[in-house]
A = this chain, B = another copy of it.
């Protein structure tokens, strides 16, 4: 028997979609936004699940995202496709351009999608998983808010700049997907340590003078650090350049200045690359997906986990048994729907 607070995926999706429609979001955009939020909840990514609804509603209430924005595609038939989110959420813009990106990548071998002027709140694995469903490898990246200092520095210039990659696997096997922040930890983790009165691990942050700190207050006032030392710092800088400067969109520092703080979700652009393995491998006579399996199954065979493996296991369970929410989460859904809980 299902637990009392269990909701089937489709039912939760419809409820979340309805919340956004009731808050004035264009139905097609509400569908896209609800999908990524409920998919996050389904995959047990709680920080990208229904927890995000409140943040989206706050940015709507602040007038910093256009609920009626209709994504506008600009395509000149080359390998770079642009979609202008026109100040709306990023996800409807991605889904509006997805099919065109897939067909262009197949035609050209690879193609890029530029998302302009979007309110960005979701994980990036949605994008690369969508491409993997169509047999494409994908890379997705975007800036965020400047919370992170470059290695050897002290002032926050870089964002937590996520990077995601997807690679298709044979039928029935979830794709190889990673999606992580290039900061060593999430800002929320430092805030959790602050609330708990606990020191943060060494290597997470520096104070205003660039000295290492384990004090969460000092860290939040100073700067976070990137993963992997100077190598992670270099990758984070690359993301600022490719997904900010190169697109003529905000880098993380300007995104922070534009929003006048960091309490609201950030607005900037995003860059997604789609590569067609069958085009790249054609002259080799090899099957690139079968080749990839040699590596991916060997990783599993030696007892190492693939990234996203826990997420795919949670997904399987949620789609079979439904999504379990807490009483507080259900009450908040009711509240957002404008229905007073009994």
Closest approach, in angstroms, between the C-beta of A273 and any C-beta of chain B? Answer: 8
Residue of B nearest to A180 (CB): B231
- On whether the beta carbons of B298 and A157 are closer than 8 Å, the reply is yes
| Contact bitstring A296-323, B, C-beta under 8 A = 1, else 0 | 1011001111010000000000000000
- On whether the beta carbons of A79 and B111 are closer than 8 Å, the reply is yes
Closest approach, in angstroms, between the C-beta of A187 and any C-beta of chain B? Answer: 17
Q: Is A153 an interface residue (CB 8 A)?
A: yes
Closest approach, in angstroms, between the C-beta of A237 and any C-beta of chain B? Answer: 7
Docked Cα-Cα span, A154 to B110, in Å, equals: 34
Q: Is A112 an interface residue (CB 8 A)?
A: yes
- On whether the beta carbons of A246 and B281 are closer than 8 Å, the reply is yes
Q: Is A247 an interface residue (CB 8 A)?
A: yes
- On whether the beta carbons of A302 and B155 are closer than 8 Å, the reply is yes
- On whether the beta carbons of A246 and B299 are closer than 8 Å, the reply is no
Cβ–Cβ < 8 Å partners of A27 in chain B: none
Residue of B nearest to A291 (CB): B245
Docked Cα-Cα span, A145 to B76, in Å, equals: 42
Closest approach, in angstroms, between the C-beta of A37 and any C-beta of chain B? Answer: 24
- On whether the beta carbons of B109 and A280 are closer than 8 Å, the reply is no
Q: Is A294 an interface residue (CB 8 A)?
A: yes
Stretch at the interface among A11-19, A46-54, A95-103, A222-230: A222-230
Docked Cα-Cα span, A111 to B245, in Å, equals: 19
Cβ–Cβ < 8 Å partners of A283 in chain B: 74, 82, 84, 116, 248
Q: Is A275 an interface residue (CB 8 A)?
A: yes
Q: Which of B231, B284, B295, B299 contacts A232 (CB 8 A)?
A: B231
Docked Cα-Cα span, A246 to B276, in Å, equals: 8
Cβ–Cβ < 8 Å partners of A155 in chain B: 298, 302
Cβ–Cβ < 8 Å partners of A251 in chain B: 291, 294-295
| Contact bitstring A228-257, B, C-beta under 8 A = 1, else 0 | 111110110110111011111101010000
- On whether the beta carbons of A241 and B167 are closer than 8 Å, the reply is yes
- On whether the beta carbons of A248 and B286 are closer than 8 Å, the reply is yes
- On whether the beta carbons of A242 and B154 are closer than 8 Å, the reply is no
Interface-centre pick from A155, A229, A230, A304 (highest chain B CB count, 10 A) = A304
Q: Which of B78, B107, B248 contacts A291 (CB 8 A)?
A: B248
- On whether the beta carbons of A248 and B285 are closer than 8 Å, the reply is yes
Q: Is A277 an interface residue (CB 8 A)?
A: yes
Q: Which of B152, B167, B294, B305 contacts A305 (CB 8 A)?
A: B152
Q: Is A259 an interface residue (CB 8 A)?
A: no
- Given A114-B280, A153-B304, A305-B152, decide whether A137 and B246 contact each other with a Cβ distance below 8 A: yes
Using a CB-CB cutoff of 8 Å, which residues 110-126 of chain A contact chain B?
A: 110-112, 114, 116
Q: Is A201 an interface residue (CB 8 A)?
A: no
Q: Which of B80, B273, B289, B299 contacts A279 (CB 8 A)?
A: B80
Q: Which of B237, B245, B280 contacts A80 (CB 8 A)?
A: B280
- On whether the beta carbons of A110 and B107 are closer than 8 Å, the reply is no
4 smallest CB-CB distances across A and B, nearest first, come from A248-B284, A228-B228, A80-B109, A153-B304
